[in-house]
Structure 1
Amino acid sequence: MMHTTNYRDTFIEVAEDCPAEHGVEPPLTENPTIATLHYRLIAEHPYSRTSDDVIFETWAQRNGVAVDDEAARARLFAKGQACLRSSPLGKRYGWGLHHDADGRVALVPRESDEYAALAADPTLSHTRAMRSRRA
């Protein structure tokens, strides 16, 4: 059985305890962090990848696996993976994640008019990024 992290017609709002007042690009480091990889994959090509694509490509880059290795992808998703609600982008860096009808994802900075419109859109499912700390 293949598990999935994909959402459709969903807006993941920033975590309640997110410290960023606006969308901040994660810092570039010698060894890219998960936040940096997620940011690059989504920001450079909005609405071109699903959550599963982002999760797999991040894992593949960190583990030296080809991003077109379907067998490795099947092995990774044979067990459940954390979805983008656990991404540092929504927990720490101030980015909402909008998933369109086809499950493709884009970043939305929390200070933007687009964020406010998506957060108020009754046609979307709404959830929040996971908190960094327990309430």
Structure 2
Amino acid sequence: MAHTTNYTNTFIEVSEDCPAECGVEPPIAENLSIAALHFRLIGEAPYTRTSDDVLFETHALRKGIDLGDEQARAEFFSKGQACLRTSPLSKRYGWGTHHDELGRVAMYPRDSEEYAALAADPALEHRRAMRSSRRV
């Protein structure tokens, strides 16, 4: 059974304990971090990839897997995967993600007018990114 992480017509707001007051670009390291890869994949082409696309491409780039390997993609999604609510972009770096009617994703900094408009849009489903720390 294939699992999916795709949302439609949904805005994922930054987590309640996100330390960034504005959208911050993750540091680019020699070995690209998950945050840096998510930032690059979503930022370079907004509304062209779904959450599943972003997560598989991140996995493939980190593991040296051919992006066109459908068997590897099917194997990756044969188990449940954490969705973009767990992305460091929304947990640590201050970026909300909007998923359109086709599940394609774009990101917006929490201090932008676009973020505020999406956060206030009653036509969208609203979710919070997962907290980084447990409540005490």
Q: Which TM-score tier does this pair reach, normalised by the shorter chain?
A: over 0.9
2:88 aligned residue: 88
1:15 partnered with 2:22: no
1:102 equivalent in structure 2: 102
Q: Secondary structure at the match of 1:90?
A: helix
Aligned-residue RMSD, C-alpha: 0.4
Q: In the aligned structure 1, how far is the partner of 2:76 from the partner of 2:28? A: 26
- SS across alignment from 1:26: coil
Question: Residue 73 of structure 1 corresponds to which residue in structure 2?
Answer: 73
Structure 2: unaligned runs, 5 residues or longer: none
1:24 CA displacement: 0.5
* Structure 2 residue identity aligned to 1:76: F
Q: Which runs of 5+ in 1 are unaligned?
A: none
Letter in 2 for 1:40: R
Distance in 2 (alpha carbons) for counterparts of 1:82 and 1:19: 21
Distance in 2 between residues matched to 1:17 and 1:134, nearest whole Å: 10
> Equivalent residues in 2 for 1:1-135 (5 A)?
1-135=1-135
Deviation at 1:39, TM superposition (A): 0.4
For the residues of structure 1 that align with 2:28 and 2:116, how far apart are their CA atoms? 28
Q: Distance in 2 between matches of 1:90 and 1:68?
A: 28
How far off is 1:88 after superposition? Answer: 0.1
Q: Distance in 1 between matches of 2:36 and 2:24?
A: 11
CA distance in 2, matches of 1:118, 1:107: 11
How far does the alpha carbon of each residue in 1:87-116 deviate from its partner, in whole angstroms, 9 at most, with x for none? 000000000000000000001100001111
In the TM superposition, residue 128 of structure 1 has moved relative to its aligned partner by 0.6
List, as ranges, runs of 4+ consecutive aligned residues in structure 1 with deviation greater than 4 Å. Answer: none
The residue type paired with residue 83 of structure 2 is C
Distance in 2 (alpha carbons) for counterparts of 1:65 and 1:103: 24
State the TM-score, normalizing by the size of structure 2. Answer: 0.98
Deviation, 1:41, is 0.2
Q: CA deviation at 1:134?
A: 0.9
- In the TM superposition, what is the alpha-carbon distance from 1:81 to its structure 2 partner? 0.2
Identity across the alignment (%): 70
Alignment deviations for residues 62-84 of structure 1 (CA, whole Å, 9 cap, x no partner): 11101111000000000100000
The alpha-carbon deviation at position 25 of structure 1 amounts to: 0.5
Q: Equivalents in 2 of 1:51, 1:83: separation in Å? A: 7
- Which amino acid is the alignment partner of residue 117 of structure 1? A
